[in-house]
Amino acid sequence: MSEAIIHLIDDDEAVRSSLGFLLEMADLPARTYGSAMEFLKVAGDLKSGVIVTDVRMPEMNGLELVRRLKDRGVTLPVIVITGHGDVPLAVEAMRAGVVDFIEKPFEDDTLLNSIRSALNSAPEADPQDAERQRFEQMLTGLSGREREVLRGVVAGKLNKQIAYELGISPRTVEVYRANVMSKTGAHGLSELVRIALLAGFDKD
């Protein structure tokens, strides 16, 4: 695991310091970068590890970074960190190939578990295949209305927007959304969207 460096990219120095300390305490060697441009200078030489990047950054955001890495043939798994208002951007990043996105604020274990999962994924296999099948099975248990609400959530729409489009109240949307969370076992918005995307729900 000595070569498995966690590459942490965030323009906020306090965040870099805090997350760097968290990774160090978890025995996960880390290098920090203040911008996507700084990271790209060394990205081409990396053979192993995990990339953790914020979405909102000056000069180049996390989504554009993901695209640049793909263009350069960098295959390291990428985890993006996003604020509440950045969910549509994070969803787009997942479609571009990131392995997970984590919504702020998050528990330390949420990030650590995601990183360890990415580190343990075998590159020569499809580590998400069994998970994809499990998620597909979960989504078959949703009602028609629950699927409509989930489709709005995946699109990054607010409850009020979904309610208006479906001709129901925002409170009813909340009820359906809670049902979807329960049926899928998702513990938060980012996990719910990840389940839906991995199962190919957005392509229905």
**Closest-CA residue to 141 (of 192, 182, 188, 107):** 182
* CA–centroid distance for 102 within its chain: 5
Residue 22 has pLDDT above 90, yes or no: yes
Same domain, 114 and 162: no
Report pLDDT for 122: 47
Taking a C-beta distance cutoff of 8 angstroms, is the pair 80, 55 a contact? yes
Same domain, 26 and 87: yes
Structure-token pair, residue 17 = 């310091």
Is 27 part of a structural domain of the chain?
Answer: yes
Residue 30 dihedral angles phi and psi, to the nearest 5°:
-135, 150
Residues 79 and 150 in one domain: no
Four-CA torsion 75, 93, 2, 44, nearest 10 degrees: 40
Q: Which residues pair with 27 in a beta bridge?
A: none
Q: CATH no. for residue 83? A: 3.40.50.2300
Do 72 and 138 fall within a single domain? Answer: no
What does the pLDDT read at residue 2? 44
User: Mean pLDDT, to the nearest integer, of 86-100?
Assistant: 76
**In which domain, by residue range, is 136 found?**
129-203
Q: Contact, 43 vs 69, CB < 8 A?
A: yes
Residue 149: inside a domain, yes or no?
Answer: yes
Q: Are residues 111 and 133 in the same domain?
A: no
Any idea which of 12-21, 53-62, 81-90 has the lowest mean pLDDT?
81-90
Percentage of residues in the chain with pLDDT exceeding 90? 39
In a domain, 155, yes or no: yes
The number of CA neighbours under 13 Å toward the Cβ of 164 is 5
Angle CA 192–9–41, to nearest 5:
130
From its phi and psi, is residue 177 left (phi > 0), alpha (psi between -120 and 50) or beta?
alpha
For 146-162, the pLDDT digits (tens) are: 999 999 988 888 889 99
Q: Give me the number of domains the chain comprises.
A: 2
Residues in the chain, overall count: 204
- Give the C-alpha separation, 87 to 71, whole Å: 24
Asked if the model's pLDDT at residue 123 lies above 60, the reply is no
